[in-house]
Structure 1
């Protein structure tokens, strides 16, 4: 497994210098992978970021989210096409960064909904994602759908829903992006959910139930790593956490980041890397012991 960390540990990622500084700090903490938030190529020099990553020998993951104005579940004749165009551009950014995937909650608006999802919205979203995935495949980019909790989308919250959604797209270039923070809310058993998802999993986020230091909350990570090993998962596992002091108001509101979770982002990153290394090593040891 390749362990990574999200830019949000240091920055919301709205300036070139902030992103490059965060990349430097991620590498200094021992990570070999860095996840970018949604990037606007009109503001951020994507080629320069790619070159900086290469200089650091740092692999990258691109992510994105949809606003209500880009909601691909919408019945408005202008909104879903606008969302499709946005996702196509995000795929191009991922490709140009050197990312083999575009992750995030890209199947609906990333927000708290006040209504139940509709069959039409599900079908519209699946059709849009199928077309985007086909175009992305030509550029070597897979789509990884982040399964976020009920307060951040109404469409897909569980791996069972995610697997069904992938089936409805008919695409072989769409995978699930699971996250222990969200699974802690929506799944009755995280390890069981991982085994159910199996080969559909394309990316993994780890985060505590309180989004603070790993190992200090309610999530039992041992069964999570055991399940990932059981299904033969060898792809990326990244820490996602948020420094409230670095985030703008819209993101704080969407993700409900209302308090500081640590005092030192660099120390948080170092602790996270050591925690992931230990969890993985112990899971491998358990696997060997029961082989």
Structure 2
């Protein structure tokens, strides 16, 4: 597959990214080198790096990889059960605040401007709705972390997910209302098409409901496989992004047990193998996103 020309890229307003876990299951020096170099070689503009293991994150090595390849980056994380800030358990809330703060500090150290993901609750099935107290705890933590992030020009994305992975935020409208209640200018909406496919009236409606708070998009097929091989209405989604004037990154996110071990694949429910060739899958996704963006771009 051919890459874009420089003029084509310059004309396209959105950077096209890839989640690091398309390539690797961790962030050792070797894994980081492979993921960043493969992402750059495939023509991606940025890589989304999981920030779940900050104490063992080699900042200097990652910074050099990004500088040497010229590829951009963002960080992401999903809060674990023992770090659930949408909880009534003070220890869990405190642990979650530590994880979020560490991720924001890591982004600042790397010179990055975005930390996204499931930043408002644990990622996992709950047996009951979030209580008013749990919701208030989440908002209080995010308010404090957002203030810290603002000092380094870092934005925090709230990636709403399906009902089986959070009991707090499941739609763009939910997320917008939640952010407005906090009142921090650097809290933003993060749409993942995989999750929106379950919870929204349509992908286009999710974009409209997000309004000017939309900052980041995960492009993921309904079955987490190759883009365009499932049931998502991509043309209307990209048309709605173009109409809204969205200029943020669009990042391919897909997971496979061909890459990820059981500690990651099982919590994600990867009971089938959606693909085996990461390089071919990633390159097809980049070309697919680029073609969708070009098709939806307003004519001059």
Which residue of 1 is the match for residue 59 of structure 2? 46
Comparing 248-257 with 165-174, greater Cα deviation is found at 248-257
Q: Deviations over 1:61-89 (max 9, x none)?
A: 10011111111011112221121111101
Q: Which residue is equivalent to 2:237?
A: 224
Deviates more, 1:186-195 or 1:252-261: 252-261
Asked whether 1:82 is paired with 2:82, we answer no
Instruction: Output one character per residue of 1:156-181: Cα deviation in whole Å (capped at 9) or x when no partner.
Output: 00001001100111111100110111
The one of 43, 51, 58 aligned to 1:30:
43
**Match status 1:192 vs 2:205:** yes
- Between the aligned partners of 1:270 and 1:71, the Cα distance in structure 2 is 35
Instruction: Note if contact 1:112-1:254 (Cα within 8 Å) is conserved in structure 2.
Output: no
Q: What value does the CA root-mean-square deviation take over the aligned residues?
A: 1.2
Using the TM superposition, name which of 76-85 and 235-244 deviates more. 76-85
In structure 2, runs of 5+ residues without a counterpart are 1-13
Q: What's the TM-score, normalizing by structure 2? A: 0.93
2:156 to 143, 148, 162: 143
1:129 is matched with: 142
With 274-283 and 95-104 compared, the bigger mean Cα shift is at 95-104
Q: Which residue of 2 aligns with 1:215?
A: 228
- Residues 6, 238 of structure 1: 8 Å contact kept: yes
1:166-224 CA-to-partner distances (Å, cap 9, x unmatched) read: 01111111001101110000001110220121111110000110111111110011111
Name the counterpart of 1:117: 130
Shift of 1:39: 4.0
Structure 1: where are the runs of 5+ without partners? Answer: none
- Greater Cα offset, 139-148 or 249-258: 249-258
Whole-Å Cα distance in 1 between the matches of residues 127 and 65 of structure 2? Answer: 42
Give the structure 2 partner of residue 12 of structure 1.
25
Of 72, 77, 88, the residue aligned with 1:64 is 77
| C-alpha distance in 2 between matches for 1:201 and 1:46 | 28
Equivalent residues, number: 287
Residues in 1 aligned to 2:104 and 2:190: alpha-carbon distance in whole angstroms? 16
